[in-house]
Amino acid sequence: MNDRPPIRVLPPEVAARIAAGEVIERPASVVKELVENALDAGATRIEVEIEGGGADRIRVSDDGHGIPPEQVADAFERHATSKLRSEHDLYAVRTLGFRGEALAAIAAAADVDLVSRPAAQTAGATLRLRNGRTERQGSAAAAPGTSIEVRDLFASLPARRRFLRATRSETQAVARVVTDYALAYPEVAFRLTADGRNALAAPGSGDPRDAVAAVHGAEVAAALLPAHAERAAVIEGEVEAARCEVVGLVGPPSLHRASRAAIHVVANGRAVVARALLPAVELGYEGLLPGGRHPVALIRITVPPDQVDVNVHPQKAEVRFRHERLVFAAVQAAVRSALAGTPHLVPDSPQFASMPVFTPRPPGQEVEPRAWPGFDFDTTAASAPSDVEGLTGRDVIAGARVASMVEREAPPPRVDGGVPLLRPMGQIESTYIVAESSDGMVLVDQHAAHERVLYEAVRARLAAGERPSQPLLQSVLATLSAPQAALLAGGASDLEAIGWEVEAADGAAVIVRAVPAALAGRDVARALTDYLDRLDAEERLSGPDRAAATLACRAAVMAGDRLDATQQRALLDALARCETPHTCPHGRPTMLHLSRASLERSFGRR
């Protein structure tokens, strides 16, 4: 007996809501669709306002062509579009929108109010939709262009609304969308307001540097280098030769970030997530960036419309190039041409000083520990001789970081249930500490180990009600990107708890008055932007733990930092005192143990 229900055609309203879920994933999806429609309409000014991360309210206004009154209702029908006429147009899409699903999907997921007026009309048309149905339609006075207000996203779909992330995360996602299109269209003026706060204002001057200045700050914009490359190839079986042109702006090697968030890729005017092309950008910097750091770049790719597929993703966030190798080579060539012949030095401006200039330390000069309150570095505890002669500036800083983690009157290293006593034997590639234990050999990842030590130290101070903060003698103005500013605003209390003291200034700029003690002595603006980049990438933890783990990651020694024997021992002893010594806060192992028995088996001794 077959108990399966029969196949039925879904009611139109159910089908519409399912389709809406494919197109509209979160508030940022709404903003993306509406901004793209505004750009397709020839707008020179686009204003975006959001409340509650966009879940409560989104308003996108533009000065584009507007919608004729007799077509306003048709615009919200599924698959209604002015951008396609036949299936052949799908293979050479020249507009950002083309499927005719955006407005219908938004109306199925939220309450919508629209006002639109073409410049040739004397009055504007209005339309109100509730639950995807027209509730009111009429006319009203309006400026030329279109304004769409979206309220209570997914209110009629509570299961979907519960899957939205915290307000700050949704605000940050919206800021990324507006930022990407402000960079992709420097000739268009963009303004983003989040909960009444100005988050972004791009002037629309047409100069890409002005757009970059609005997003990343004037100093960054001034430092960028012009990039350009063209590639063409005759492909067997292709009617038209494969072509690709890349223009853009890329940062000098001294300008880098903790994440890839500052690499922006635009393909035929479409801001895209180009995972396959990010390595092409970074390969252009091969050998020029410190480990774990990423460049700042705005890459604009132009290929014939029939050589790129923009219809491979429900939210049109990704594209597929027919000749991906050609595009990859063009991007890499553009970056390398921009960097060719440029001095790869740290500029005088502290905005770009991520670390001291690499000069040898004079013989006999003592390393000045940069310690947290209550922390000290007792070099008499280790009997091994120091081998710090000839260390570079980076390595001196690394030593100071380790110096900051050994607590006065600390208990002896734990043995039962913890890490056995370890005797350091040296480093491999200035990344892993080789140590001898009572049962074989242990390899310790110095960065992961130091992260664990610092993380537990920060948590202990938070639990004790302490606030390990270092006030600045002079406040520092730091320019953030719109997503960074949204992240900071949403997590202000967590950041304050670990020692940051920051207040909002104009736009995305902030005034820094104090920093966590673990970051004292560093370039303040760079420390804050790097911290926010790492905080954004942290997904395993939340709340104060997320802030503490990010601080530990930012303050810990890095792969490639040389540590002398005394510093290695200090790190191993501090790790042995941790409550959870075997993993870093992100769950990565801190050590690898090779037992005596496994070594003997490997060498045929048993």
Half-sphere exposure (Cβ direction) of 526: Cα atoms closer than 13 Å: 21
List pLDDT tens digits, range 262-311: 999 999 998 888 778 888 999 999 878 877 789 999 999 999 988 887 76
Domain ranges, ordered by start, for the chain:
12-201, 224-343, 375-460+558-602, 469-550
Q: Is the pLDDT of residue 206 over 50?
A: yes
The overall longest dimension of the chain from CA atoms, in Å, is 94
Question: Between 13 and 101, whose confidence is greater?
Answer: 101
- The Cα 319–Cα 90 span in angstroms is 13
Q: Does domain 12-201 have CATH number 3.40.50.300?
A: no
- The CATH class, in words, for 469-550 is alpha beta
List pLDDT tens digits, range 213-263: 999 989 899 999 999 999 988 776 666 778 899 999 999 988 988 888 899
- Among the listed ranges 2-6, 18-22, 196-200, 399-403, which one has the minimum average pLDDT value? 399-403
Tell me, what DSSP letter sits at residue 6? P
Instruction: Please state at what angle helix 524-537 crosses helix 543-555, rounded to 10 degrees.
Output: 130
Give me the mean pLDDT over the 2-22 stretch.
66
In this predicted structure, what is the pLDDT of residue 186? 96
In this predicted structure, what is the pLDDT of residue 79? 66
Instruction: Please state at what angle helix 482-490 crosses helix 167-184, rounded to 10 degrees.
Output: 170
In this predicted structure, what is the pLDDT of residue 111? 95
Give me the mean pLDDT over the 332-357 stretch.
55
In this predicted structure, what is the pLDDT of residue 126? 95
In percent, how much of the chain has pLDDT > 70?
Answer: 79
392: Cβ contacts below 8 Å, ≥ 6 apart? 358, 359, 360, 361, 562
In this predicted structure, what is the pLDDT of residue 520? 83
Question: Between 477 and 354, whose confidence is greater?
Answer: 477
- Among the listed ranges 62-71, 312-321, 390-399, which one has the minimum average pLDDT value? 390-399
Q: Which two tokens stand for residue 138?
A: 């009429």
- The Cα 136–Cα 129 span in angstroms is 7
List pLDDT tens digits, range 526-562: 889 888 888 888 777 777 888 888 888 888 988 888 8
Give me the mean pLDDT over the 81-100 stretch.
58
Q: Are 40 and 82 in contact (CB under 8 A)?
A: no
Q: Is the pLDDT of residue 372 over 60?
A: no
Provide the pLDDT confidence category of residue 382 given band limits of 50, 70 and 90.
very low
> Which pTM does this prediction carry?
0.73
Q: Is the pLDDT of residue 387 over 60?
A: no
The CATH code for residues 375-460+558-602 is 3.30.1540.20
Using DSSP bridges, classify how beta strands 45-51 and 189-194 pair: parallel, antiparallel or unpaired. parallel
Q: Which two tokens stand for residue 14?
A: 């159910």
Q: What is the number of H-type helices and E-type strands within the chain?
A: 17, 26
Q: Nearest Cα to 321, choosing from 301, 297, 300, 298?
A: 301
- The Cα 4–Cα 315 span in angstroms is 34
Provide the pLDDT confidence category of residue 379 given band limits of 50, 70 and 90.
very low
Provide the pLDDT confidence category of residue 209 given band limits of 50, 70 and 90.
very high
Q: Is the pLDDT of residue 47 over 80?
A: yes
List pLDDT tens digits, range 116-160: 999 999 899 999 999 888 899 999 889 999 999 999 999 888 888
Give me the mean pLDDT over the 426-453 stretch.
91
- Among the listed ranges 50-59, 95-104, 126-135, which one has the minimum average pLDDT value? 95-104
Provide the pLDDT confidence category of residue 451 given band limits of 50, 70 and 90.
very high
In this predicted structure, what is the pLDDT of residue 42? 94
Mean pLDDT taken over the chain: 80
- The CATH class, in words, for 224-343 is alpha beta
- The Cα 434–Cα 593 span in angstroms is 10
Q: Which two tokens stand for residue 158?
A: 């509570």
Tell me, what DSSP letter sits at residue 589? B
The 10 Å CB-count burial string (b at 16+, else e) for 445-461 is bbbbbbbbbbbbbbbeb
In this predicted structure, what is the pLDDT of residue 353? 31
- The Cα 234–Cα 238 span in angstroms is 8
